[in-house]
Chain A
Amino acid sequence: GESVGLHLPTLSVQEGDNSIINCAYSNSASDYFIWYKQESGKGPQFIIDIRSNMDKRQGQRVTVLLNKTVKHLSLQIAATQPGDSAVYFCAENIEGGSEKLVFGKGTKLTVNP
């Protein structure tokens, strides 16, 4: 089965609030993680990534946190906007393996105006 999963399948927030999307992974050998955003009818779009030698990485309005102790990954979106409504996937790459990624099933984020 998949080693990447998500705690919540759906998340609903108010516009302007901060959003936190969680992901659990089970393979301690994973050394690279990516968050993707998929809007309705489109392909997944790269948002941000993080390597296992880091525990935090920030982008524009997004922050990814990695807790290797409990094998947990999260994506934080600041000041969530209606355009952030989408399905968010985490993906992992196992160290020493191929360039294949293992994807979670996704969390649907809905931003209410």
Chain B
Amino acid sequence: DVKVTQSSRYLVKRTGEKVFLECVQDMDHENMFWYRQDPGLGLRLIYFSYDVKMKEKGDIPEGYSVSREKKERFSLILESASTNQTSMYLCASSFGLLADHQETQYFGPGTRLLVL
């Protein structure tokens, strides 16, 4: 079974704090993704990565950065948390280009972040 884990299920932070959300997958997947999920807006892609040290902006990268130093780990960083970043954050991973169904993404359990 594919397993994607996220470091925290719930986080409470204050405005202006630097926040790190960690994601780890154990299936040697090439691709990793960070989404946020808000009521009525669905899943929106923040950043993704095709390989170690590679990153690409998704649809809503403003206010976020990412780090992929190791293949299995993809970190989302909120440089200075704001209240509008209160959300559910979902990490996902998928196989690389040479695999069948490379597009299928497997999700972690999510981190619910509250910024006060």
CB-based contact B110/A42 at 8 Å: yes
Q: Which of B80-116 contact A (CB under 8 A)?
A: 90, 92, 94, 97, 101-110
| B83–chain A nearest beta-carbon distance, Å | 22
Is residue A20 within 8 Å, beta carbon to beta carbon, of the partner chain?
A: no
Per the bound structure, the CA–CA distance linking A101 and B110 in Å amounts to: 18
Report the nearest B residue to A43, measured CB to CB.
B107
Chain A 1-24 per-residue mask, 1 if CB under 8 angstroms from chain B, else 0: 010000000000000000000000
Per the bound structure, the CA–CA distance linking A93 and B45 in Å amounts to: 14
Binds B, one of A60-68, A77-85, A102-110: A102-110
A interface bracket (residues with beta carbon within 8 Å of B): 20 to 34
Report the nearest B residue to A103, measured CB to CB.
B43
Contact A89-B107, Cβ < 8 Å, known A44-B90, A99-B102? no
Is residue A111 within 8 Å, beta carbon to beta carbon, of the partner chain?
A: no
How many interface contacts (CB-CB < 8 Å) are there between A and B?
Answer: 52
Chain A hits for B108, CB < 8 A: 43
Contact A46-B104, Cβ < 8 Å, known A2-B42, A100-B45? yes
Interface residue count on the B side (C-beta < 8 Å): 25
21 A-B pairs with C-beta separation under 8 A:
A2-B42, A32-B103, A34-B103, A34-B104, A41-B110, A43-B107, A44-B43, A46-B104, A46-B106, A99-B50, A99-B94, A99-B103, A99-B105, A100-B33, A100-B45, A100-B58, A101-B105, A103-B42, A104-B42, A105-B40, A105-B41
Closest 9 interchain pairs by CB? A43-B107, A105-B42, A93-B103, A103-B43, A44-B107, A43-B109, A43-B110, A99-B103, A99-B31
Binding site for A on B (CB under 8 A): 4, 31, 33, 40-43, 45, 48, 50, 58, 90, 92, 94, 97, 101-110
Binding site for B on A (CB under 8 A): 2, 32, 34, 36, 41-46, 49, 89, 91, 93, 98-101, 103-106
* Beyond A46-B106, A103-B43, A105-B40, 10 extra complex contacts between A and B, CB < 8 Å: A34-B103, A43-B110, A44-B43, A45-B107, A46-B104, A49-B101, A89-B42, A99-B102, A99-B103, A100-B48
